[in-house]
Amino acid sequence: MENKGRRFSSEKKMKVIVATSINPVTEAIQRFDSLDGWHLIVVGDKKTPRDYSLKRGTYIAPEMQEAYDRELSDAIGWNCIMRRNFGLLWAHDLGAQIVALVDDDNIPYPDWGKDLMVGKTLEVNYYETDLPAFDPLGATNYRNIWHRGFPLQLVAQRDYSRRYRKTVRVDIQADLWNGDPDIDAICRMEHSPYCTFDPAVFPMASNRLSPFDSQNTFISAEILRNYFVFPHIGRMDDIWASYYVQALGFQVAYGKPSVIQKRNEHDPVQDMKNEYGGYEQNLRLVEDLAVDTERIWWYLPARSARAFMLYRRHFNNA
């Protein structure tokens, strides 16, 4: 199959930002579009305004996505954030070495993207736990909240007593977000936090799989083939992607907040419904992935598994 994305010229050491949006150009998108040294890609959807345009970046309209890979488009479906995967493919075709995934309601601070850890070996606050998973938020100055996708069964068992300094090679940099944090619907309805995270606790990493999202995260190009935002699994789309790539051996380090999130309107009850599959399966998933990464296929609906295979097809000759 012809890879139509290669109509773009390749640049060495290129850094690409990937976002999706169904809104008119937001303040966050304007700021990302103006950043020197980065190329912004925004992936459109059926609800995105038809006159959507960027001053410097690339807007991928729905018809462009279908021309690129109609089978993948159909497998993912419309009106979902998982259209983001087309941005990852565009970034790959551009020759990006670092890809930043962002949301259109996360406004970057002036130092966003300037303190990159990806591809570097550095010293971090390192936590060891015997639990199957590690929750980074409980290690901050907000110990009563937890990251979306962290197994609920483990929340009361979190223990951060085994911490020391360790040198790690960072493949994934998951920066946090001040303002409205990325917590699950149960945590949000119970605590309604508005956060200002203490930068002194970062960077941090752990010996266990830990959830990271796709709203302010930097990944290296070598991860792209295996990093796929899974459709048809509700709000675990990026969470299961995060567990999977870590199980393959890629190391995530959590960085200090580099955005403030002014969260788009959400219905917390609907979010809870869309997160239920994770509440039920996240613990078993991390336990299974620790045994065999191929067990990811046990958890994926057929349509999601097909989409992942179609996505990977673009990397067969990479």
Summarised one tens digit per residue, pLDDT across range 92-108 is 999 999 999 999 999 99
Q: Give residue for tokens 């419904």.
A: 273
Q: What is the pLDDT of residues 117-152, one digit of tens each?
A: 999 999 999 999 999 999 999 999 999 999 999 999
The pLDDT of residue 44 is above 60: yes
DSSP, residue by residue, 209-229: B----SSEEEEEGGGTTT---
Q: CA Rg, the chain, in Å?
A: 18
Q: Crossing angle for the helix pair 302-312 and 84-94, nearest 10 degrees? A: 10
At residue 270, the pLDDT reads 93
Q: Where are the beta strands (DSSP E) in 103-198?
A: 106-108, 121-127, 163-169, 172-179
Residue 318: its pLDDT value, please?
Answer: 53
Residues 116, 120, 125, 131, CA torsion sign:
positive
CATH number of 4-315: 3.90.550
pLDDT higher than threshold 90 for residue 29: yes
- The fraction of the chain above a pLDDT of 90, given in percent, is 92
Tell me: pLDDT of 81 over 70: yes
Averaged confidence pLDDT in the chain: 94
pLDDT in tens, 277-302: 999 999 999 999 999 999 999 999 99
d(CA 30, CA 221): 25
Give the whole-angstrom CA distance, residue 138 versus residue 145: 6
